[in-house]
C-alpha cells in the first residue's frame, strides 16, 4: 500500500496562523473595487511585490495584476470573474499579508517565493462586484467568453495566459450553498474540478497534474471539513476559460467555495481557501502531486443538489380540502440592498411532499403538528416605537404572524424584527405552495409550538428567536 501521508504539505501551520494575516477591512462579502484598491496599492511599498494594471473593465475600473516570487515555475491565480463570488478574493488579500510578513514560517514562505513566480488577478470582474452580480456590465457571463472574447475582461485574461504560459492555474469561484458532497447531508464546502479540454474527457499530462494536485488538496481539507469536499461534473464546456486554458497547456484547478453551517459571510471558508492555496503552492514546489493516483480524483463525490436551508418534516398541512402529511423545504434567498453592500433574506418554498431523500442545514421534526396559516394582528400599529414594544412570542401564541402599520416606509423591504409588516391595504393569505413564502404556526392540540416567519423558525415554547429577518410588504 502506498503511504499517502508523505504527499501531504505542511498545511496545519497555514491554517493556524491565518487569523494573524486576516485582512480586517474585508470582513463581509459585498466589498467593492474601491475597498480593494488601497490594499493592492500599498503592496507597492514592499519590494517582494510587483503591482501593475492589467487593463480596464467595461466601466473603466482598473483590473490589477500582482506578481510575487522569482522561481522558474509559473502559477496564475484569478478570482471573482463572477462579481458575486468573492471568497477567494478575501483569501488572496490574506495571502498578500502573509507573503509580505515575517514569522516562524519564513522558511516555508521563502521556499514558495524562491521556486515559483506567482501572478494574481484578485478581481477580474470589478463591475460585477460593484452590483454584487454574477455577470459583467455588458450582461455576459465572463466564464462563457473564452471563445468570443467580446468582454474586455475576457480579452485581458486570455492575453495574460498566452503571455505567461503558466504551468498551473487556479480558477477561483463561489458556488451555491445548496450543493452537497454527493447525496448526503454534508454541504459541499469546497468543490474542485480539473476541467476537461475536450468532450471525450481525455486525460493528458497537463490535466492529469491538475487531478493529482486536487487529490492532495482533498486530503488536506478532510482535516478541517471531513466529508464536505466534492467535485464538479467534468462535462466539457467549450466556452469556459478553465477548459480552454487546460487545453492550452496550463494545469487548471477550479476551486468553488460553497456553504458551511453558520458561516453566512464565508469567513471560515476564507480560511480554508488560504490554507488550501498555500498548501497547493507548496505541493507544486515539492512536486509531490506527481506521485498521487488519478483514480483517487474520481473517488471524490460529485456535487449534488441535496440541501435545503430548512426542511420541516412530517407536518400536517391543510391542502385541497384535506389534511395531508408532508415535508416542506425552504431556501433562504439573498436580496441585495444599500447599493449591494448588504443583503436580507427573502425565503421561498423550494419543494414540498416527500423530501426524505433530501437534507437541510436545519431540520425540524414536526411529527404530530398541524400547520396553521398565520393571521394579521387586528390593531394598526402607529409607529416603530409601538412596534418594538410588542411581545412577539405572545402574538405567535395568539396565531398572529403579521402586523399592519399606518406609516412605515423603510428604504429596504426588510425588518430585523421577527414579524412580517404589512403597509397600506396589503393582506396575506399564507398559502402553502411552491415558490410562495407563507408565514404559519406549528401547533399541537391547538397550542403553538413554533412560528415560521420568512422561512425561519421561532421556538415559541423556549422563546428562542431564530428569525434572521422579517419582510415589509
Q: Where a domain ends, among 261, 288, 304?
A: 304
282-304 average pLDDT score: 97
Q: State the CATH number of the domain containing residue 439.
A: 2.30.40.10
pLDDT at 425 over 80: no
Same domain, 21 and 68: yes
Q: Where a domain ends, among 304, 326, 343?
A: 304
Same domain, 263 and 363: no
Which pLDDT score, from 0 to 100, does residue 137 have? 98
- Lowest average pLDDT, out of 244-248, 337-341, 389-393, goes to 337-341
Is residue 207 packed enough to be buried (19+ CB in 10 Å), middle (13-18) or exposed (0-12)?
A: buried
Question: How crowded is residue 438: how many other Cβ atoms within 10 Å of its Cβ?
Answer: 23
Same domain, 174 and 113: yes
23-28 average pLDDT score: 97
> Structurally, how many domains does the chain consist of?
2
Same domain, 280 and 315: no
Which pLDDT score, from 0 to 100, does residue 1 have? 40
Range of 440's domain? 307-471
% of residues, the chain, pLDDT over 70: 99
Same domain, 279 and 343: no
Which pLDDT score, from 0 to 100, does residue 2 have? 45
Same domain, 316 and 272: no
pLDDT category at 336 given cuts 50, 70, 90 is very high
Is residue 216 packed enough to be buried (19+ CB in 10 Å), middle (13-18) or exposed (0-12)?
A: buried
CA 469 to chain centre: 20
Same domain, 334 and 298: no
Q: What is the mean pLDDT of the chain?
A: 96
pLDDT category at 384 given cuts 50, 70, 90 is confident
Partners of residue 337 on adjacent β-strands: 342
Q: State the CATH number of the domain containing residue 99.
A: 3.40.630.10
The rounded radius of gyration (Å) of the Cα atoms in the chain is 25
Task: Compute the distance between CA of residue 220 and CA of residue 280 in angstroms, rounded to an integer.
Answer: 10
- Lowest average pLDDT, out of 69-73, 100-104, 299-303, 406-410, goes to 406-410
Same domain, 346 and 283: no
Same domain, 282 and 335: no
pLDDT at 374 over 70: yes
Same domain, 268 and 335: no
Please state whether beta strands 464-465 and 370-373 pair in parallel, antiparallel, or not at all (unpaired): unpaired
pLDDT category at 5 given cuts 50, 70, 90 is low
pLDDT category at 9 given cuts 50, 70, 90 is confident
pLDDT digits 0-9 by tens, 232-287: 999 999 999 999 999 999 999 999 999 999 999 999 999 999 999 999 999 999 99
Same domain, 403 and 450: yes
Same domain, 222 and 262: yes
Q: Judge whether 373 and 452 are in contact, CB under 8 Å.
A: no
% of residues, the chain, pLDDT over 90: 93
pLDDT at 6 over 80: no
Q: Where a domain ends, among 272, 304, 336?
A: 304
- Lowest average pLDDT, out of 3-12, 238-247, 442-451, goes to 3-12
pLDDT at 3 over 60: no
Q: How far is CA 76 from CA 48, 160, 167, 212, in A?
A: 17, 9, 8, 18
pLDDT category at 199 given cuts 50, 70, 90 is very high
Amino acid at each position: 500500500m502506498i503511504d499517502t501521508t508523505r504527499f501531504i504539505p505542511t498545511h496545519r501551520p497555514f491554517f493556524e496562523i491565518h487569523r494573524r494575516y486576516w485582512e480586517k477591512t474585508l470582513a463581509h462579502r459585498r466589498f467593492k473595487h474601491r475597498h480593494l484598491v488601497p490594499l493592492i496599492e500599498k503592496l507597492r511599498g514592499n519590494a517582494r511585490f510587483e503591482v501593475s494594471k492589467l487593463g480596464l473593465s467595461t466601466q473603466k475600473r482598473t483590473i490589477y495584476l500582482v506578481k510575487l516570487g522569482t522561481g522558474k515555475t509559473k502559477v496564475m491565480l484569478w478570482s471573482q470573474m463572477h462579481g458575486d463570488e468573492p471568497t477567494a478574493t478575501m483569501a488572496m488579500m490574506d495571502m498578500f499579508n502573509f507573503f509580505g510578513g515575517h514569522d516562524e514560517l519564513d522558511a516555508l514562505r521563502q521556499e514558495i517565493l524562491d521556486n515559483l513566480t506567482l501572478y494574481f488577478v484578485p478581481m477580474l470582474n470589478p463591475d460585477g462586484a460593484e452590483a454584487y452580480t454574477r455577470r459583467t456590465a455588458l450582461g455576459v457571463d465572463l466564464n462563457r467568453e473564452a471563445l468570443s472574447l467580446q468582454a474586455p475582461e475576457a480579452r485581458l485574461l486570455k492575453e495574460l495566459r498566452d503571455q505567461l504560459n503558466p504551468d498551473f492555474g487556479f480558477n477561483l469561484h463561489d458556488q451555491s450553498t445548496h450543493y452537497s458532497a454527493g447525496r448526503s447531508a454534508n454541504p459541499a464546502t469546497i468543490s474542485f474540478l480539473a476541467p476537461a479540454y475536450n468532450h471525450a474527457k481525455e486525460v493528458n499530462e497537463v490535466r492529469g497534474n491538475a487531478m493529482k494536485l486536487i487529490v492532495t488538496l482533498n486530503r488536506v481539507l478532510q482535516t478541517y471539513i471531513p466529508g464536505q469536499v466534492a467535485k464538479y461534473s467534468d462535462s466539457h464546456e467549450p466556452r469556459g476559460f478553465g477548459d480552454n486554458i487546460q487545453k492550452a497547456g496550463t494545469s487548471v484547478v477550479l476551486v468553488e467555495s460553497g456553504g458551511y453551517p453558520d458561516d453566512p459571510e464565508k469567513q471560515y471558508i476564507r480560511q480554508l481557501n488560504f490554507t488550501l492555496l498555500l498548501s497547493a503552492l507548496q505541493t507544486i514546489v515539492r512536486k509531490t502531486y506527481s506521485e498521487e493516483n488519478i483514480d483517487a480524483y474520481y473517488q471524490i463525490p460529485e456535487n449534488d443538489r441535496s440541501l435545503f436551508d430548512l426542511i420541516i418534516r412530517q407536518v400536517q398541512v391543510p391542502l385541497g380540502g384535506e389534511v395531508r402529511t408532508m415535508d416542506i423545504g425552504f431556501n433562504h434567498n439573498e436580496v441585495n440592498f444599500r447599493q449591494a453592500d448588504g443583503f436580507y433574506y427573502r425565503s421561498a418554498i423550494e419543494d414540498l411532499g416527500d423530501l426524505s431523500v433530501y437534507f437541510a442545514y436545519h431540520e425540524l421534526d414536526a411529527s404530530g403538528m398541524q400547520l396553521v396559516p398565520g393571521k394579521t394582528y387586528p390593531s394598526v400599529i402607529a409607529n416603530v416605537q409601538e412596534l418594538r414594544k410588542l411581545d412577539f412570542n405572545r402574538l405567535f401564541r395568539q396565531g398572529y404572524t403579521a402586523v399592519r402599520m399606518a406609516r412605515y416606509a423603510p428604504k429596504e423591504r426588510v425588518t430585523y424584527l421577527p414579524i412580517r409588516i404589512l403597509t397600506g391595504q396589503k393582506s396575506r393569505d399564507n398559502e402553502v405552495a411552491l415558490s410562495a413564502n407563507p408565514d404559519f404556526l406549528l401547533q399541537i392540540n391547538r397550542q403553538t409550538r413554533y412560528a415560521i416567519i420568512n422561512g425561519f423558525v421561532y421556538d415559541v415554547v423556549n422563546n428562542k428567536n431564530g428569525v434572521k429577518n422579517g419582510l415589509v410588504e
